[in-house]
Amino acid sequence: GKGTYPHYMAKEIDEQPAVMRKIVQHYQNEQGKLEIDPEILDTLLQSDRIYIVACGTSYNAGWVGKQLFEKLAHIPTEVHLASEFGYNMPLLTEKPFFIFLSQSGETADSRQVLVQINEMNYPSLTLTNVPGSTLSREARYTLLLQAGPEIAVASTKAYTAQIAVMAIIAELAAKADGLAADTDMMHELGIVASAIESVIDDRDFFEQLSLDHLSTSRNAFYIGRGIDYYLVMEACLKLKEVSYVQTEGFAAGELKHGTIALIEENTPVISVITEEKTGGHTRGNAHEVVSRGADSLIISMEGLDQPEDAYVLPKVHPLLTPLVSVVPTQLLAYYTSLHRGNDVDKPRNLAKSVTVE
């Protein structure tokens, strides 16, 4: 049940630090080291490319997974929308490895792709929250997200759980290949758990931010670059699906190629800055929209912060920043939905698991 929480979404946002710790515990062996089924790792390491297939929030988590697999384990990774893959299949490499990301394990679009690739006998791994789910039964391998039941239609803790489990797989694949010698995911995920906690402690601040900047606006924008671009795609989906504020999330560098035409007096533009090499450029874009009248809010990370910033996130490993930067965006979506009088846990027109194509 919801316990003392008014909504499942609030409860599930709050559970994220515990989910991070649970994942670390679950994927630990008796020697206290991270471990997954060695057969999964072997198959993964024999492949020449990872194809991540998913929908919605799980798809957005997939892009962060791509960063992890490429940067840590040096395995080329593509991310595909399940609903497009079946109709427009990319040219596959010789030894593909498929990862299906699905909280419910029941998404029909993803299953359709799994059925197709099973016919070709390619190896597949489902990351799901639901043991025994269809995608889990039909894939060659399954790893569980350990997030506990996610009841709110808007996915929150499954996003962070998917990224954390992919971080573990990527690190183990890297180490098995003699890479990432000084990464310690167990330690880094512990730091993430505490960082998420400290952001959640500031929930009242985000409620006020939502009231001041989003509760009456017609539209909103999220911008970021690099890993923050992947994050803002999820931030944007979350805000639109529960608050019904028309939101676009896009690569900050693309602003001047079109979207800047939509900036009017007081249009909220939220910039997310957690990456050292791109942060300065995104900040420049934030200043450009201010000069066109936008209501700019900058969410940055310690070390990259400036006095103008609305909120500064605690610092975490550079490949794990979405685990922390997503939290303010979840809270903003939640409070904006609440203050607009929407049904937070059951937004209109949406279903928790989409079992039709």
Residue whose CB is less far from ligand F6R, 100 or 206: 100
Q: Do residues 316 and 190 touch, judged by C-beta distance below 8 A?
A: no
- β pairing state of 96-102 and 295-301: unpaired
x/- track of binding to ligand F6R for residues 129-168 (CB under 6 A) = ------------------------xxx-------------
- To ligand F6R, the closest distance from the beta carbon of 149 in angstroms equals 12
C-beta closer to ligand F6R: residue 109 or 188: 109
Count the Cβ atoms, other than its own, within 10 Å of residue 181: 7
Residue 11 a catalytic site member: no
Q: Select the residue interacting with ligand F6R from 45, 92, 179, 354 (CB under 6 A).
A: 354
Name the minimum Å distance from CB 80 to ligand F6R: 13
Lay out the sheet containing 268-273: strands in order across: 246-251, 219-224, 268-273, 295-301, 311-313
Q: Could you tell me the smallest distance in angstroms from the CB atom of residue 111 to ligand F6R?
A: 9
Query: For ligand F6R, how many residues bind (rule: CB under 6 A)?
Result: 16
Q: Which of 2, 71, 315, 352 is catalytic?
A: 352
CB of 166 to ligand F6R, least distance (A): 14
Site string for ligand F6R, 238-277 (x = CB under 6 A): ---x------------------------------------
Pairing of strands 124-128, 141-144: parallel
Question: Which residue, 19 or 174, has its beta carbon nearer to ligand F6R?
Answer: 19
Nearest Cα to 333, choosing from 216, 233, 243?
243
Work out how close the CB of 211 gets to ligand F6R at its nearest, in angstroms, rounded to a whole number: 23
How far is 234 from 57, CA to CA, in rounded Å?
6
Taking the C-alpha atoms of residue 222 and residue 219, their distance in angstroms, rounded to an integer, is 10
Q: Kindly state the smallest distance separating residue 232's Cβ from ligand F6R, in Å.
A: 15
The count of other CB atoms within 10 Å of the CB of residue 131 is 10
Q: Which is nearer to ligand F6R, 228 or 241 (CB)?
A: 241
- As a 3-state breakdown, the chain gives helix, strand, coil percent values, each rounded to 5, of 50, 15, 35
Nearer to ligand F6R, 78 or 305 (CB): 78
For residue 356, give the amino acid letter. V
* Cβ–Cβ under 8 Å, residues 100 and 127: yes
> Tokens for 169?
């797989």
Under the criterion CB under 6 A, does residue 55 sit at the interface with ligand F6R? yes
C-beta closer to ligand F6R: residue 102 or 243:
102
Whole-angstrom distance, CA of residue 254 vs CA of residue 275: 17
Nearest by Cα to 63 from 78, 74, 85, 84? 78
**Which position's Cβ is nearest ligand F6R?**
56
Cα–Cα distance for residue pair 77/100, rounded to 1 Å:
13
**Tokens 């894939």 sit on residue:** 139
- What's the CA gap between 310 and 280, in Å, rounded? 16
Least distance between ligand F6R and beta carbon 158 (Å): 6
Residue closer to ligand F6R by CB (options 80, 175) is: 80
Report the site for ligand F6R in 71-110 (rule: CB under 6 A).
Answer: 102-104, 107, 110
Chain residues in the site for ligand F6R (CB under 6 A): 55-58, 102-104, 107, 110, 153-155, 237, 241, 353-354
- Catalytic residue positions, numbered: 352
